[in-house]
Chain A
Amino acid sequence: MAESIRDKVAIIGMGLSTWGERWDADIFDLITEASVEAFNDAGIERNQIDACWVGYYINDNATTGLVVAQALQLQQIPITRVENGCASGSESIRGAAYGLASKQYDLVLALGFEKQKDSGFGGLAVAGAPGKVYSMYAAELGAAPGRYALAATAYFRKWGLSKEEGKRTLAKISVKSHHNGARNPRAHLRREITVEQVMNAPIIAWPLGLFDCCGVTDGAAAAIMCRTEDVKRFAAKHPHDYITIKGLGIAASPGWGKEKTDYDFTYWDATESAARQAYAQAGIKNPRKELSLAEVHDCFSIAELIGMESMGVCQYGHGKEDVDSGAWEQNGEIPVNISGGLKSFGHPIGASGCREVMEFYTQFQQKAQEPSRQLKDVKFGLAHNQGGYPGQFVCGITITGAPDV
């Protein structure tokens, strides 16, 4: 019978590359930067790694796990490339965790990265890679901003928000993300913005404007993981400075939700399912009370709003109240995207799921660099990471926590 992953696996080291528009860096640089920081943080040597899972989405000049072997000169170990759209980062941690829990390996590297800024044009570097064959129907579905915007229109309509009220609610979410990101030395976009700036910014896909959309970022994130019982063996120098995995939820929606007349675009079904799985494993009954922080997949502002409702942290239709009351701000009931989120920290597709976990790791270790953004009494953290589009999602939720809770 299936067992919960709870506390079986520990993360003993994490690392990030510099995130941003990395004109100076290729994928090997990004992989190296993040991995070496994680090796050093864990206090291990790269030749101790038994296996690796790597998540990335777009890169045309890489198709397998070989890129990690090439970058780090890992010698003849199993390296698996995983890809689940924008949820690829969660998938790398999940694969690594199961490899450890099944006792196939003792020490593993989980990695996510994305190099977007070699495309030569703005925006997501994904559409129509050379050789990619489109169904016309896929072309009719369009790009990410327009697809998420469908949900914003539907959300405003369902919950009786005027266009102005709806836009303002979303604007407050982006303002909060930028406020948090501006205090995070490792974030990509470190500039405070105002509600009026967001409201008056150029429209990308109505109702979403420029500041409703996350940054296009290059970056990598890495985690060193072992079984919890082996922490003392691998992290002898810091045997108490680790977190454990409490729950791993992942769900792929049936994919045609958006074509079903009973789907109204105001909830994320895969998020509901993944959260249910992860809470059950982690033993979380009341996420709003029990979670110390949530890193939510806010590729667009509406994604955070509906994501919070779909995870049961906020009741359906009550997102605006939480936003207006500041419940998701640093000093609110549950800090959401204290890192700055995808919006401000950046969103190198395959790296985000791993990076979200690192925010909890950093906060737990009281190493939030900038004192003003350090949370106290950190016990459980949730990382929400989703790929696809409203009505067609794959979602990964990783709950991590202090070893002793």
Chain B
Amino acid sequence: MVGIVSYGAYIPMFRMSRDVLGSVWGKSVGRGERAIANADEDSITMAVEAVVDCLTGIDRQTVDGIYFASVSAPYKEKQSASIVRAAADFRENVDSADFTNSIRSCTSAMNAAVNAIKAGVAKRVAVVASDSRIPAPNSEFEPILGDGAAAFLLGDSDVAVSIEGSYTMSSEFHDIWRKESDRYHWAWEDRFIREEGFEKMIPQAVAALMKKYNVTTKDFAKAVFNAPDARSHAQIARNIGLDAKTQVVNPLFDAVGDTGCAFAPMTLVQALEEAKPGDKILFANYGDGTDAYILQVQKQIENVRNRRGIKRHLASKMPLNNYGVYLQMRDMMEWSPSLRPTRRSAFTFVWRDRKMFYACYGQKCKTCGHIQFPKQRSCMYCQTQDNFEPVRLSDKKGKLFTYSIDERAREIMLPLVRAVIDLEGGGRYYSSLTDRDPSKIDVGMDMELTFRLVFDGKKEGSGFRNYMWKARPVRC
């Protein structure tokens, strides 16, 4: 039996009320709020969060592959999956691949993972979908798009949700696109996108799936699928023949926004959080074609309950009510030039200490037992040289020992909260605090670590994305 062994999700902390956009542009843009990635987040860092959530309680060394699905990968040429793999601390002798250019990429990656497992070349493959698409200001997309990620561990043992059947169609269609040269999205007329695209293609594929496996809509406890908006989502449900009240899992348009590749997967995570053993779930994902699945919830689902997933991430949020700050976070304007020299970094630094920067490894002195970060040749405590064992610190919690709040730092999200954190089990981590409310910082606060950008490689950081683990107040 092949299927989903575990699941996880991530929703960034910031939420922008659509009223903010309404007041900025002087028009009505709909209800609810958008989840907005912090300035130090992108589709890679959100993917790491979702993967780490998915792997709660599971040995990361058992994973044989990592597939990253996104239409907003920060690199156009250079794999993202390899960064997610390194940050998640998976083995090096695994397959990593990016699936991109279509919002259907997540299910393409799932199909590839299932095929690899069925072929016996892998036992467990992590698939993660993550998107932080940047809509043009005042465009039809600006109120709609949101940021988030979902991850699944696929395997052939300890299966929590089995894949009982699948059906795939490819369709050549232009609904929303960006060419190599485009910063923002093009779109054909919305009525065409809905009526000839989503609302026709998803039901077609679902009908073919049900015919192939001889099931009817009545057999499904829940149904999960994507759509361009809530109204169209309801229309697709009607076209398939689903009961909106009992069967359709409410998508995250109002609470998060359209998270691209991650949208249907996040809705599926939401469904799995509530699913009971025995439930059949219809899962369909559209974009340049459709992947449709019959999923069967197994009793092992009870073993993978304690995730932050959608529900806990949704409840943990901070308002982003300042559109100017949002523009800065997304670097969407030309800003005042500065005489301050830009900070360069070196990829060779990162490469030499890749276990430290990507997977947050410190070291434990085998002579005196002290855990320390960053890594050293000689022990900070007993001065013994080269007698350490590596210790992963990324999943350690800690307490805030001392802090300062720098109002003049060269950061987008001022003020910069500088923190010294003592980790549980030993070790001290010196970091800036992300995802924090500066008015609520105090000594003794509970802290955790999260994979974030330090330099974005635009103005600073020698052209490449500089990531490492930062501290934040325990999220939820």
Contact = CB atoms under 8 A, between A and B. Distances in A.
Contact of A134 (B343, B374, B428): B343
Interface in B324-361: 338-346, 349-350, 357
A265 B420 contact: yes
A72 interface: no
Given A127-B341, A260-B380, A136 B407 contact: no
Interface stretch (A61-69, A251-259, A306-314, A355-363): A251-259
Interface residues of B, number: 48
Contacts of A262: 381
A146 B418 contact: yes
A151 B341 CA distance: 28
B345 A133 contact: yes
Contact of B420 (A131, A135, A202, A258): A258
A206 B339 CA distance: 25
Contact of B404 (A134, A136, A137, A152): A152
Contacts of A206: 404-407, 415
B220 interface: no
Interface in A163-207: 202-207
A130 interface: yes
Interface string B356-382: 010000000000001011101000110
Nearest to A203: B407
Interface string A257-277: 011111011000000000000
Given A254-B380, A259-B430, A149 B454 contact: no
A262 B381 CA distance: 9
Contacts of A136: 345, 349-350, 357, 454-455, 461, 466, 468
Interface in B380-414: 380-381, 401-410
A129 interface: yes
Interface string B435-471: 0000000010000000000110000011000101010
Given A127-B340, A204-B407, A205-B408, A142 B432 contact: yes
A123 B408 contact: yes
Nearest to B410: A127
A1 interface: no
B408, B416, B454 pick with most chain A CB within 10 angstroms = B408
B407 A128 contact: no
A371 interface: no
A338 to B, nearest CB: 29
A74 B431 CA distance: 47
Nearest to B340: A121
Contacts of B426: 261
A150 B345 contact: no
How big is the A interface, by class?
35 or more
Contact of A133 (B346, B376, B404): B346
Given A147-B418, A202-B407, A204-B408, A259 B374 contact: yes
A152 B443 CA distance: 12
B409 A143 contact: yes
B258 interface: no
B128 to A, nearest CB: 24
B339 A149 contact: no
A256 B372 contact: yes
A136 to B, nearest CB: 4
Contacts of B402: 150-151, 153-154, 157, 265
A142 B408 contact: no
Interface of B: 338-346, 349-350, 357, 370, 372-374, 376, 380-381, 401-410, 415-416, 418, 420, 422, 426-428, 430-432, 443, 454-455, 461-462, 466, 468, 470
19 contacts: A120-B339, A121-B340, A127-B343, A129-B341, A133-B349, A136-B349, A140-B454, A142-B406, A145-B406, A147-B404, A147-B418, A149-B404, A150-B402, A203-B405, A205-B406, A205-B418, A206-B406, A258-B420, A258-B428
Interface of A: 119-121, 123, 127-137, 139-143, 145-154, 157, 202-208, 254, 256, 258-262, 264-265
Given A146-B418, A147-B418, A157-B443, 9 more contacts: A136-B454, A140-B431, A142-B409, A142-B432, A204-B407, A260-B370, A260-B381, A260-B428, A262-B381
